[in-house]
Amino acid sequence: MISIHELGFDIDGKTILRDINLEVAPGTTMVIMGPSGCGKSTLLRLVCGLAKPTRGRVLISGKDVQSLTPAEHRSIGMVFQSSALFDSLSVYENVAFGLRRDKTYRPAEIEVRVREGLARVGLPEEDLLQKMPADLSGGMKKRVAIARTLAANPQVILYDEPTNGLDPIMAMTINKLIRSLQRDLGVTSLVVTHDLTTARHVGDHFGMMLDGALVETGTFDQILKSKHPVIRQFLNVS
Amino acid sequence: MKSSPGYFYNTVGNLGRFVLTFFNACKEMCYLYTRSLWSVLRSTIFWHNTINEMNFIGVNSVPLVAIISTFTGMVISLQVGQIFADFGVSSQLGNVLAVAFGRELAPVLTGVVVAGRVGSSIAAEIGSMKVTEQIDALKTLSADPIDYLVAPKLLAAFLMMPLLTIVSNILGMAGGFMVAVHQKAVTAVAFFESIASYITPWNFIGGLIKAFFFGLVVAGVGAYKGLHTENGAVGVGTATTQSVVTGTIYIFILNYFLTIILY
Ligand SMILES: Nc1ncnc2c1ncn2[C@@H]1O[C@H](COP(=O)(O)OP(=O)(O)O)[C@@H](O)[C@H]1O
Ligand SMILES: [Mg+2]
């Protein structure tokens, strides 16, 4: 579903990502772990086409992300680290945003899908619809952001540090949500995080990234048993 | 140290970098303008946002433009009226006010007001959307940030600046007229006759042409600074300040050259 070939990315003469090779099978969740600044967000930006690779390529269902049509682009959902809700729009308008871009939806359908999306992330309350993002807690913002991504019916969802900055209970709610979306909707997911609890809960396959390179892949146990000294250090302090 | 070759090369290097940055900025602003024009021509612009922006840029700026223009007109009448009275040419006050406002003061004052109020808010809004990944979120939902944000603001500023300038003209002249009649003993007839005998429509049209350009400059600088915001909240503050400073400087420089061309 997602295949990454020899991916590399430079900015201002500095190499941010080097020689990344990765396959995420349809309907599975791949988690990339790594310390801050190792290039996790950059990887996601390349996978959803927000940035152009310097070397190599990213294929989604066999097509290069750089040459997708707008509709195909909308099938790749991204949940940003800061949630990135549009703060001038209500919760309803945020979730409806992608649907309004797709001219095939009629207004009645949009309303149904917005309500469905919010119910799926555990926010069915009617009075939430007209609230502005500034009035929401961090956990609610994250869930609205996931609902906005879901509304566009994505086949692939990318999560950038989905539980960062949330309390442990909310973090667990988000972990379960990510799992349930994969199970119920069959979406293919790529999650990047530095949180081991989140990683273990949501992932089927795991990778460890250090300084722009993917240094280890495998099951969670395989990563835990890694002999790589920096990985050992990362796991011990986490 | 100052005479060492290292210092010399450093200075040349910095100058070179400055020139490069400046030309890069010009290139990117040209891209913003042409891409926005394209957005309007192909109607991919978000019209709903354009209406909101016209309301914010135009309607909400009226009180400030009105106050500044009225009092400027009044103070000119006071000062110039005194000199004219000494020379016995008080009746020419209308003529002078029409030249001052129609050609220069109305577009420039309005431009400065819009740079302070609108340019800053454009930079702040786009800048905070940039640092909170909302610009990226627009892209992933296949809404181009130019169509959604930049083009509506540019078009709204382009359309509303001349209207605000008309308001400034009317109120500036009215303020000047009131002081002339009530404090400088100029008769209303003399005031309007002096305008009618010297002033052509071009006097005001040229000012409105300037206003179109000032609107584009202010909104363009705001959008450019916003889109280039880095470093979180601090960066948003810097971008906001820079958009006002740069926008105002550009207005005054551009005004000089437009005056040469138009009058
Ligand atoms: N636009 C950019 N310009 C310069 N450096 C960047 C840019 N984006 C990311 N970087 C650098 O790339 C590295 C990886 O960043 P990022 O992908 O955000 O890491 P992570 O998400 O793992 O914390 C960091 O060292 C960061 O400073
Ligand atoms: Mg990151």
Rounded CA gap, A159 and A178, in Å?
Answer: 9
Q: What pLDDT is recorded for position B1?
A: 46
- Residue B42 is assigned to a structural domain of this protein: no
| Ligand 1, pocket-test mutation among A16, A54, A159, most atoms within 8 A of CB | A16
Domain residues for the domain of B190 are 67-262
Q: How far apart are CA A97 and CA B139, in angstroms?
A: 12
Q: What stretches in chain A show pLDDT beneath 50?
A: none
Go through A166-189 and write b for each residue having 16 or more CB atoms within 10 A of its CB, e for each that does not: beeebbebbbebbbebbeeeebbb
Instruction: Kindly list the strands in the beta sheet with A156-160, ordered across the sheet, starting from the edge strand earlier in the chain.
Output: A76-79, A156-160, A188-193, A29-33, A205-210, A213-218
Domains identified in chain B, total number: 1
Q: Which residues of B touch A48 (CB under 8 A)?
A: 140
From the candidates A46, A52, A76, A78, which should be mutated to test the interface with B, based on the most B CB atoms within 10 A?
A78
Using the structure block, give the residue that is written with the tokens 């702040």. B124
H-helix or E-strand containing A154?
A: none
Residue B12 lies in a domain: no
d(CA A158, CA A191): 6
CB-based contact A8:A20 (threshold 8 Å): yes
Which pLDDT score is estimated for A227? 85
- B49 and chain A in contact, CB less than 8 A: no
B139 interfacial to chain A (CB closer than 8 Å): yes
pLDDT in tens, A128-171: 999 999 999 999 999 999 999 999 889 999 999 999 989 999 99
Kindly state whether residue B108 falls inside one of the protein's structural domains. Answer: yes
Q: Which residues of chain B have pLDDT under 50?
A: 1-2
DSSP A99-114: HHHSTT--HHHHHHHH
Residue B25, domain member (yes or no):
no
Q: Tell me whether residue B22 is in a domain.
A: no
Ligand with minimal distance to A37 CA = 1
Chain A residues contacting B, CB < 8 Å? 45, 48, 50, 70-71, 73-74, 76-78, 80-82, 84-88, 97-98, 101, 148, 152
Residue B51 lies in a domain: no
CA atoms of A67 and A75, how far apart (whole Å):
14
**Residue B79 falls within a domain, yes or no?**
yes
**Ligand 1 centroid from CA A39, angstroms:** 6
Task: Please state, in angstroms and rounded to a whole number, the distance separating the CA atoms of residues A161 and A164.
Answer: 5
Determine contact, residues A217/A30, Cβ cutoff 8 Å: no
pLDDT at A104: 85
Domain contains B158: yes
* Count of Cβ atoms closer than 10 Å to residue B252 Cβ: 11
DSSP letters for chain B: -TTSHHHHHHHHHHHHHHHHHHHHHHHHHHHHHHHHHHHHHTT-S-HHHHHHHHHHHTGGGHHHHHHHHHHHHHHHHHHHHHHHHHHT-GGGHHHHHHHIIIIIIHHHHHHHHHIIIIIHHHHHHHHHHHHTTHHHHHHHTT--HIIIIIHHHHHHHHHHHHHHHHHHHHHHHHHHHHHHHHHS---HHHHHHHHHHH--HHHHHHHHHHHHHHHHHHHHHHHHHHHT--SHHHHHHHHHHHHHHHHHHHHHHHHHHHHHHH-
CA of B152 vs chain A CAs: smallest distance (Å): 15
